[in-house]
Structure 1
Amino acid sequence: MFRMNRYLTKLLLFSLCLSTVPVLLLGAIFYNRATESIQSKVNEGNVHILMLTRLRVEQVLQTVDRSLERFAESSSVVESLDTYITPSKFQLFNELTQSMYRMQTFDVGVQDVHLINLQKGWIINNSGFYTFDEIDYKERFNQYLNIADSKFWTSEQSGLTKENRNAQTRIVSLVKKIPANSDKPTALIIAEIPGRELSSLISKNNPLGEVIIFDRAHHILAIQNENFSGQNSEIESLYKNLAATNSPSGELTARLNGDPVGIVRQQSAYNSWTYLSIIPLEDIYKESRQTGWIVVSSCLLLLVVGVLISLLVSRKLYKPIQKLQASFPPPGERQHGQDGPAAADDRTNEFELINRSISHLQTLHRQMSQQLSGQVKQLQELFVLKLIQGELRHAEMNEKLPILMSAPPYRIDWIVVLALQIDTLEGSRFKERDRDLLLFAINNMINDIIPYKQRLLPITIHKYQITIVHTNRHSIHEFREFTVAMVDKIKLEIGRYLSIPISIGISRPYEDIKDAPQAYDESLKALRNRPLAGQNTILYYDQQQAGKIELGQFPEETEKALIQAVKYADHEQIDLLLERFLEEIARYCATYSEYQVSLVRFFVDLTRLIQDSGAAFHSVFENDKPSFEELLELKSKADIREWLKHKMIRPLLPLFEERRKTKFQNISREVIRMVQEEYDTDLTLEICASRLNYHSSYISRVLKNELGVNFSEYLSQHRLNVAKELLEDGSMKISEIAEKLRYHNPQNFIRYFRKMVGVTPGKYRETYANGAVNRGG
């Protein structure tokens, strides 16, 4: 039988709170928002209607304004200003009255137009011609003249010549002075519009409020509802109070006859009239109260439904807990074999019993998981190893996939294999014996770096660390970005914690797990190209395949220059050209196999160089003979460069150094002979090089090495010595000596001689002659 207890009571109370509190809050919020929305909509409607009314009235007033301007500028008005109207001026009078009648159209509502000649003292309007003696409005004229504006709108209780039939409205007048902007106008033109015409421009079908128009003097000019006009004094008093507060145009509230009203106010920029819309707030509150009753009724209904649902749901939710409690034995029976007071207490606290029972099950589960985890990891390593070696059938792969993958979903859309290798341990804090331990550490680091849902278990094979990265995303672009991010993070973490250079080979992405052996092979092939890229690099197999070029491109020119530098034993050029040669074959070769072919070709060319020199191979290298097998075993570009430099090229240099010295001596001796025999000709370095079949720069370098001076310096020194001998002989003039030594100007010879010897040629000859006489005496 169902029994009320502690948990059910709490559940019921919680359900009631959960169902009632939101309903009450939502009801209150909805009521407030609905009330605000109604008032906002009413105000927005009033603002819109008020703006339309203002624009409609201003359009009519501006039409009257433009008509009055045209009338004032007409020739008949200009002519009448200096004329006293007499019967003989009937035609002029007729033109004036016709122009006035044309201004009084139905759409603008003009009642009468007055042309007032202040100098001549007459008035013309619809009623005819008047003199100032016949009317009593001189005081009104003076008021108009005292207003500073040349044109303005005003309102009066009555017209100049016609009485106002409706005492509740005023006559609106547009007054224009002629001439404009004059301190002493000579005439006035006044257009009169009854206030009822303005009232007709206000929409009568506005249910939102009463629209009222005020002039600048706070007089009511027009009102929407005639029944509302009985409150004119109260409205004018309310408007004066608003005007006294200098409140700007907008929405505000006030009280009219003790009742709250909402007021929307706009002021015209055209003539400073004010437009008011007044709506009793009681109308808005009535709508709000109706909405409030609907909200209250809805909330009560929802509360009743919520209480019923809470009772039903609480009972429904408690039944599984009751059954779960009944499925566990009472604590007293489990511990003492009998039902005692402790058992009775536990029955009133359902979750304590359930918690102890579940904790016991979890302890058993952990013990079993610890026993199985080691076996599962070994199984995963075995399956991954068989997978990349191609020892699993396709059906077996799908069967073992839940074991290979650490978490569902057990589906793979893309895979890629990463093969990691330690480049070198030289210069690090580790020894070669630590390599296997480092691979194990790297394997554990990768196990933590790559999310377990996107990789199979990382393993180590021989000297490589292998990881199969996978994804169930359909976009290969996203998978490539993820792979690149993981590889960069692996390099960063290994560099940070182990400080050793590593290289990572990455296979192409494959869509099926059965292609794992092919991907594994591609990752190892990518690593084989590590010598091309150097240490601590990431090698993509697909980029290597895309970068392949046709075989046969070999840097022959650079190789020729390098072999020539070896022949000349030019150490500086050898280092420079060897570095360039290795960079060029690395650029031309897409794979390491092509790179090795180019290295073997260079090895053969160097061997042929030894053969062409006539030297024996064993005499050059003695007991340390290089072989191309040894060359092909090298794994980095730096190792290859050092091997070629020290094992292959350096042993050749003494052979060519000795030959170079003998050759340099022969060349120097031949150039010296040419200079001594042909010093009195236009002998140049290029002529000597052409005769010896060498380039002039090479001859210059040989002379610099052998003699310590260049060709020009040696030729000049020899000619200087000849000049001394000829001066000492005394048989030739100085000018003849200069000509013989190929100086076209004797002065150049004299200057050069004095610069080199310290005295002029003449002084040198004189000194030598004096010394010979003294020796003879």
Structure 2
Amino acid sequence: MNRQAILSVSKIPQRISYKLFVTICISILVGLFMVIMVINSFLAIRSNSLEMSEREAQLTTDHMVSEVEDKLEILRQYYLYSAMDEDIEWFLNNKLDYSDYGRYKQISTALGNNSLFPNYLNSYVVINYDNGRVISSRGIYEIDEMINKEEIDNLYEDNSTKVNKGNWVYIQGGVSADSKNTGYRLTADTKGLNFLLNLPIGVYTSKGFLQVNINMDEWKSWIWDNIDISGRYVAVLDNDGNVIYSNSSEFCVKCMDQNSSDIPKEASKESINNSKYIVAQSSSTMLGWNYYVAYDYGTILGATSKLLIEFLVAITVLAALSFIAVRYALYQPVDRLIKEVSDADNRDVKGNELQYLAGQFENLKNDREVLNQSIIQKRQKLAELFEMRIIRSAVSMDDEWNEYIKVLNLTEYPNYAVIAIILNLQGKEELEEEINEDALCLELAENLPEDLKKATWLPLIYDSCTLTCIMGADSEEKLMDQISAYYDKIQKYAIGKIGYGIQMGVSEVHTRRNHLGRAYHESVYALTMDGENMDAENVADIHTSVMNTGGEDSGGEHVDSEHTDSARSYRNSKFDSGCRFYLKLVTSKGDGINLKKYEKELCDALKALDKGACYRLIDEFIENIRLVGEWSVASVYLTSVIDAIMIQAIDMQIDIAIICPEGLQPLYHSILEAGDVSRVRKNLKKYIVDPVFAARYELLEDNSYQMMAQIEKMLADSKGNITLNECADKLGVTPTYIWKIMKAQRGKTFSEYQEEYKIEEAKKLLQLNRSVSDIALELGYTNAQNFIRFFSKGTGLTPGKYRKLMYGPV
């Protein structure tokens, strides 16, 4: 390396800022420490975990074999004990006839006890060789009738040469009768594992034989029940290496090779079907079989991997804290010195390399402007597509994001904010139609001046009645300055271009690019927030959100009055009420909304068919919704009110299909996704309240005759003792509507019609031999005098005089 190269390398620290140099050095040291710690920990834990896994696998396999042998030993002891039962002894000394059913039942219960050994047995036979009688789990018959008599005789003779303590015999090619075959009842199953016992026990010359065939499926379940979830493959070999059971051919071959070799049979890691397994082996002292079990290495290491991850997380946190502490300790003296020697307005000191870059940028200024213009023209559509996918949270993969950044030649920033813009059409009734607003917004976006195009990170696009763009900066304060300048410029441009101003909503500052979809919704919701009615505490929250460098993770710190005044001054100095910020930390005033009150009053107004009251309540409710701090909360309130209106409509016998012919989901979407509270108010009236009133008026007009009949029936059922309000409640209408129906159909008010009904009913009762007091009580009067006054007023006669005049003596 020549002298010039050495000097060039030695000057590298001088060409970068001290803060960056310190950060790089500490990062290298911490990185090396992390790499060494991770590698060392990984190797140690992997070695220990393998030993632990092998030990655990061996213990599990030994336990499984022990459990299987315990069950077989219990069976053996049980049948040794049952063989001494007096009923079996009687069977060996007597010939069992079909009339001895009680004896047969006792023997069958003793030998095939399903309550003690459920599903353990396939079959059993007990044979009296003196008289040729056979008792089996399938019935009673003569030994000469047995289909596989020769096989059973051979088993009996072989067992006679052994110590008569109950022997286990495995027969690979034994008989297994099919229950559908005609010889099923006369066949003794021998395939698989069998328990053999010559009878009686304790004598040299036997005259009977007990053979019990074990259910091999149940035996397999004993194996799997005692292997934990990591067990995958099992192979069982007898002493000669013959396969008793296996669920994997590849694993079985490995076990046969290991069984025939002289290698010590210890737990070890093996590859089976291209996966890693821990293979453990254990031998059965009772049967002489070798059990092999393969355990999934990955499952066994699950807990160990979790421990490793927790350890790495702890090391990472420790390294991060160490990095911050060392960086602060090394740079703090330098930072303090910079503040002492630099001007108050110029403390953002950069390294010397910026002088070189400044000269280069001066030379390339004109070329850069031309290049940027060319890039904008060629890649405008791609940039718009990229932005559209961002605000819809469709860009989730880092590779996709990086590809867009590379193709569009965008600079990534640590701080981003999403801006939503709508036209300020308040008081402009002629521009309420969305097609006019669409045309104006598109004209505004397509003819944007170059300085406004360059001011945003991604261009201004129009979607869902909203103009949207994304801005980015190196710091939050710079980002706020950019947003302030952008707002002033686009406000002036909009007024000059189309004659109307704009309202701008700004999201929180986000440091994570995958949060920009949420930021878009924040900016839209910010448009609904009232910028003139925020108290000092909320302004302090703005100060915390804007001025702190903690970004979206800074949290809500306590802000004293001095900071509050500073925050208000900061906000008022930069923005007017047309630019509104989404307040994550603002205390929701929506907690004070009496939702039940609004729902009840709206339902009452619907029942009363009072559209004016409905409109007034909706306006009041929407104004309160503006104060809710989160759109997710506001949408819950709105959904609840819409639900209450729809339920009331159903109670009013309105067909919901009339209100929302395309279904409920599009209706809710058209209201909740309007993007602006004023549009929510408008759509709520247009798409729900107005159709409900129209449908109800039409329904009432069609049902007026039917309703009159219902009113007359209720009067008859109650003997006239029902009020106008009670009648209206039962019919789901207002008292005023019933009054109108009565006037139209009968030419009388409800009270007049009710009085006529009671008088006619009283006249009918006066024909009977009943006292005036009884009649008054039946018609709902508290005393006879009130009834007499009522009757006299309606007829001009007292009840008694009317009875004598009309009916004479009753």
TM-score by length of 2: 0.31
Q: Which has the larger radius of gyration?
A: 1
TM-score by length of 1: 0.32
